[in-house]
Amino acid sequence: MIVKKPPMGWNTWNTFGEKINEQIVKESTDAFVELGLKDYGYEYIVIDDCWSERTRDAVTDRIVADHIKFPNGMKAVGDYIHSKGLKFGMYSCTGVRTCADYPGSFDHEYLDAETFAEWGVDFLKYDNCYKPKTADCQLLYHRMGIALENCGRDILYSACNWGTEDVWTWIRSTGAHMYRSTGDIFDSFQSYKDIAMSQVNKFGYSAENCYNDIDMLTVGMNGSGNVGRGGCTDAEYRQQFVLWCMYCAPLMLGCDIRSISAESKALVTNRELIAIDQDEANRPPIWQHHPWNENLKVAFKHLANGEYAIAFYNFSDNDAGIPAMFELFGIPSNSGYKLALTDVFTGEKIGEFKDYINVKVATHDVKLYKAKLVK
């Protein structure tokens, strides 16, 4: 299975944690459809940890659905998701137990892949807790990779070892289509900022068929739910979403989409932003760091159509002017070129600029421009 764009969807973990059940998944699937998310490219509904019984079936050794949370079993859930034209994601783990202490797939990889295929699973998030010390992390990801490739169904393989063991250097070889590169996100400015900044020099490894995954988005959580921690302002959610899109990172929503605000919905369905995320050139941005204020950053990205995207991030606690020197992006003064800038959020034409620009950005906010080279 070849995955040509950063995957997009929704995952239960950020909002629901272990409090998941069939009704929540069905209601969220309905909300997904009502919001029209599929029209924007979102397609996976992923059930994270805590969906199974605490022990495997004594006779078949298979993982079984929690009979209270999912009384009709996982295939029925998958059938419902498929009936709405969406794709069905599930979760397991390299270790003997999952991170929340349910059965893991260690030494059961082939049996579990077969079970997932029987249930109609299209996406597997594969976590990394509780593996025996004698077991090699890379080998375990290979094992599940091969098990999935041979289970008789196309299943997108989403690895999750939180960036340990220099994952970017070997994960593509395992068959994984995306790989978590950081620890867990929480719904706060500090959390998403630290996650995004930890990957400034790591996105060169992220490309078609194996994408650096910087975790599910918290946009729209407003501090509630399993990973809610104080929440973010609308400006901070804007900043978070632009960070993910400028990286071409997978866009997995994590908020309660049944009650998403109009503001957050508009953000995660902004077609211009999604196009930057899904840009087929999939180039990482280059960064311009302010000489003395580490909280002011500019990211510059080449797009497939010959234009550029430039994001001005203000991580400081004050409104600020953020300068960008075009020379440092490869456009020196003697090239004779200017940049014609358009604000991606408002569509406003900002004008043509030579050599540099200084952009005013409110605290914890972002400005995002599309740029064309003009004489």
User: Which residues contribute to the site for ligand GAL (CB under 6 A)?
Assistant: 13, 48-49, 98-100, 127, 129, 160, 162, 184
- Nearer residue to ligand GAL within complex by CB, 214 or 298: 214
CB of 374 vs ligand GAL, minimal distance in Å: 44
Residues 6+ apart with CB under 8 A from 96: 103, 104, 106, 107, 130, 131, 132
Q: How far is the CB of 8 from ligand GAL (least distance, A)?
A: 17
Instruction: Please identify, using beta-carbon distances, which residue of 44 and 315 lies nearer to ligand GAL.
Output: 44
Q: Which residue, 162 or 337, is less far from ligand GAL as judged by CB?
A: 162
Q: Give the residue with the Cβ less far from ligand GAL, 185 or 320.
A: 185
Query: For this structure, is 127 an active site residue?
Result: yes
Q: Are 50 and 103 in contact (CB under 8 A)?
A: no
Q: What is the distance between the alpha carbons of residues 299 and 174, in angstroms, rounded to a whole number?
A: 31
**Largest Cα span, the chain:** 75
Cα-Cα end-to-end distance for the chain = 44
**Helix-then-strand count for the chain, H and E:** 9, 16
Q: Which residues have a Cβ under 8 Å from the Cβ of 139 and sit 6 or more positions away? A: none
Minimal distance in Å, beta carbon 181 to ligand GAL?
11
- Among candidate residues 259, 268, 148, 165, the one with its CA nearest the CA of residue 217: 268
Of 30, 154, 184, 355, the catalytic one is 184
Closer Cβ to ligand GAL, 100 or 328, answer by number: 100
- The answer to whether the CB of 205 falls within 8 A of the CB of 238 is no
CB atoms within 10 A of CB 365: 20
Token output for 238 = 């804007």
Say which of 48, 49, 112, 127 is annotated catalytic.
127
| Phi, then psi, of 281 in degrees rounded to 5 | -70, -25
Is 49 one of the catalytic residues?
no
Instruction: Find the helix packing angle between 22-34 and 73-83, rounded to 10°.
Output: 10
Catalytic residues: 127, 184
